[in-house]
Chain A
Amino acid sequence: MGFTDRFQKTTEPRHRLGAMEADHYIYSAGIAGEKFFTALRDRGIILASHCKACAITYVPSRLFCERCFAELTDSDDREVGPEGEVATFTLVRQDSAGNALPEPEILAVIRFGHETTGFLHKLGEVSPEKVETGMKVEAVLKPQEEREARITDIAYFRPVKK
């Protein structure tokens, strides 16, 4: 049963059908985001920003440190990955309408060293039973000609072959 099934008789005085519509939104990637996505598309790298004072590396790159407000400039850029470690994960077996997915999706938070922030992405080339916390994974990028400066330019992370 879909979510709207209970609300069909909108001609009754009791209720109205409405929507909070906007045609669309334009979301800004931001100064640091533009740099991150350009590097991902053109150089195939995962760019991060390192705050020396707080000893923390933000993935993706950021314009400022949220802890101390220092401006993070080009000289604070760090390249992280492509290898990282699964900090936590979940398996998704149904879509939002409740239909079974042909293959379960695996979402994971990946860390690139203990001083980095977490990075959300998908896992691939691995069966759900084999996934575990602490697993070493590596980024699989789409071919350069298919990359469009989006987070999905990384196709997924897969286990590092031993």
Chain B
Amino acid sequence: MNLKETNRSAAVVGAGMTLFASRLQETGKEMTWEAAKMALDQAGLTLADIDAVILGTAPDAFDGVHKKGEWLLDGAGGVGKPYMRVYTGGGTAVMAPIAGWWHVASGMYDKVLVLCEEKMSSVQPHAQSAFGHIWDPILDRPLKPNLVWIFSMEMQRYMHKYDVSYEDIASVAVKNKRNAVGHPCAQLADPDITLEDVINSEPMALPVRRLDISPPSDGASAVVIVRGDMAHDLTEIPVFIDGVGWCIDTTMWTNRDLAFPEFVVKAAKMAYDMAGIDNPKKEIDVAEPYDPFDYKEVQHLEALGLFEPGEAARATREGKTQRDGELPVCPSGGLLGVGNPIAATLGIKVGELFWQLSGQAGVRQVKKDIRTGVTQAWGDLMQFSSVLVMRRH
């Protein structure tokens, strides 16, 4: 891999996102347009300025329209432009902006609009009925797997291997749902939530309880990525994409190390190498790892090299990852607090790092001086990860 010689730099100059909630009133196209318009407005650009459009969205089965990338096209502003859909399940949230980055870094385009949309309330009675068809039809589906019990097994394996307590893991849910209180788009923010609330919430597939899981949601998010040398003309503090990485593990999830996601390590190494980061523990100031379940945040923090394996949950309980802690983690409120419209979590990952690193995060703003952040998403059949390193220059 040649990670040091991309053609040119690229920076985020605007971001937007809609309220995350079950949204019966708007179409997916209308939500996508709303987020796109916000991002363009923040960048001071119009659709006519945009050279190419990337749309990220996860299974067609949620919205109930096959080829929904093409269906959402008009809301994404892709009519009459080079346009492509990115789809890596939950990993789409960070993979779509990576595709935006390579459109610019390759030298092909100057200004690119990246959108992500998900409308999970369309599928009835619950999004789980769509997730039921992601498994192998011969080996897995006859046993009727669902995501919650698969994740329960992963969490169990992680707790066993590293001797991690459930209470330490559950403190992630408390932190993120409290962080989300300052987010105007949040679905599950709760200023008063306690560890006891999580521990006593309804058992789903133990050890996983209801409040360990992020809620399905509807929403859209967008970012504008431009050539690095144009960025300062468009915004006061652009945030540069200095490293990108992605990696996919075997589809046979039973064949993976369920306690430690090696594919995240590989994706992170690619992004860190490109960004010239040798010691992420010292050089990363803020992190937005993917947190659809509380144990996933700690697993991801460990695979991103920010904590030793098995250490991140206790560090969370000790407050090290609070917004004012040593390493602020998910200052947005994350998927656990803001909501989990799969691909649209772009806004609480890449969008949040843009707002944080440019000092525009309002009441969510990390107080200490932050310059370098890492964000990561995770998806497909729990086997894929995408990583972005973002920096204020």
Contact = CB atoms under 8 A, between A and B. Distances in A.
Interface of A: 16, 18, 20-34, 63-64, 66-69, 71
B37 A69 contact: yes
B124 A25 contact: yes
Contacts of A69: 33, 36-37, 40, 46-47, 77
Given A23-B125, A25-B123, A26-B121, A63 B133 contact: no
* Cβ-closest 10 pairs across A and B: A30-B27, A66-B74, A25-B64, A69-B47, A20-B133, A64-B33, A22-B129, A66-B79, A24-B124, A25-B122
A30 B26 contact: yes
Contact of A22 (B29, B36, B123): B123
Contacts of A24: 124
Interface in B20-54: 23-30, 33, 36-37, 40, 46-48
B280 to A, nearest CB: 39
B247 interface: no
Contacts of A29: 27
Contact of A27 (B75, B122, B141, B142): B122
B80 A34 contact: no
Nearest to A58: B74
Interface in B286-341: none
Contacts of A67: 47, 79-80
B48 A26 contact: no
B195 interface: no
B143 interface: no
A24 B129 CA distance: 10
A16 B40 CA distance: 49
B25 A21 contact: no
Contacts of B40: 69
B48 A28 contact: no
A33 B138 CA distance: 42
B137 interface: yes
B223 to A, nearest CB: 16
A31 B129 contact: no
Contacts of B159: none
Contacts of B29: 30
Contacts of B80: 67
Interface of B: 23-30, 33, 36-37, 40, 46-48, 61, 64, 73-75, 77, 79-80, 119, 121-125, 129-130, 133, 137-138, 141-142
Contacts of A27: 64, 122
Given A18-B137, A69-B37, A31 B124 contact: no
Nearest to B129: A22
Contacts of A26: 24, 121-122, 124
A28 B26 contact: yes
B334 to A, nearest CB: 27
Contacts of B64: 22, 25, 27
A68 B47 contact: yes
Contacts of B30: 30-32, 63-64
A64 B107 CA distance: 31
Given A68-B46, A69-B77, A28 B27 contact: yes
Contacts of B61: 20, 22
Among B30, B125, B130, max chain A CB count under 10 A is at: B30
A28 B24 contact: yes
B263 to A, nearest CB: 27
A16 B26 contact: no
A28 B122 contact: yes
Nearest to B125: A23
Contacts of A28: 23-28, 119, 122
Contact of A31 (B25, B47, B123): B25
Nearest to B73: A66
A23 B128 CA distance: 11
